[in-house]
Amino acid sequence: MVVTFPNFWLLKLNNEISQCSEMVALSSYLNAMKAINMKRKTLLLISVLLIIGVSLTIGVYLCLRFQELVAKPSWLRLGAFMTYEQFFVWTGRNETEYMKWNITSLRDDSADLHLISHGVDVTEGDVVITSGEDNWTMNAVTREIVDSSDSNYVGKKCPFWIETDVTIGSTVDTLYGTSVVSKSESIRVFGQQRHCWVVEYYWTTASMKRWYDKSCGILLKVHVVLHRQDITIEITETAVLTNIDLTLASRIFHQNPL
């Protein structure tokens, strides 16, 4: 026996099925849109948080950089000093002397430095070790010498420390002229290994290599080669005594690195 339904009921059943399918599809669509909107809101929130984080990081970095640019070195104090052993070698002879600089006055962004050093004079093939003293008044931020017992130094940059925000290839200006950081090397001074930036100078009859501590910028070692009247003189200056806490300078540097 075959059961048949009137066309009216078949049409009604089809309509109800269609409506049910449409409602299911609409519900699925709405749920999908909600999920998409939720993802968009989440991504937007993450993006905003990242932008805020990056902005804060850049702001702090720029603030630290600005403070470094407009502030004198943290180690620069009244009475701060550095003593170097000067070892002179030429034609089978050698001699040891000492060089010392110390801060004698500190006023806001101005610093007075007293320097005692030794050099060489070659006359008619005879090498003579000379001594001299200088007094400088410097801008403690820019290192520019604004007054000196030797007027030839005025307008030039103090060579006993450099800025710490340098790297290989950075330009460095000192009393001896403008050069660049050529490389990074570690040297042993004060019974410890110190990581240094190396700055080199080359002239017709001389060359100079200077090691500056990465943490505080202070000069730790110098090697000079002079050619005078067929005589070659080598001078090595190595830091041997100081009251500056290089370990503290290292901690400050690593807390606020470049």
Model pLDDT for residues 225-239, shown as the tens digit of each residue: 999 988 999 999 999
206 close to 189: Cβ distance less than 8 angstroms: no
DSSP string, 195-207: EEEEEEEE-SSEE
Model pLDDT for residues 101-155, shown as the tens digit of each residue: 999 999 988 999 999 999 999 987 789 999 999 999 999 999 999 999 999 999 9
Distance of CA 152 to the CA centre of its chain: 29
Could you tell me what percent of the chain has a pLDDT over 70? 79
Model pLDDT for residues 60-105, shown as the tens digit of each residue: 444 444 444 457 898 999 999 999 999 999 998 999 999 999 999 9
Which residue, among 229, 216, 221, 10, has the nearest Cα to 99 in the 3D structure?
A: 221
CA distance 138 to 112: 6
128 close to 140: Cβ distance less than 8 angstroms: no
- pTM (2 decimals)? 0.71
* Burial group, residue 99, by CB count within 10 angstroms (0-12, 13-18, 19+): buried
Distance of CA 46 to the CA centre of its chain: 32
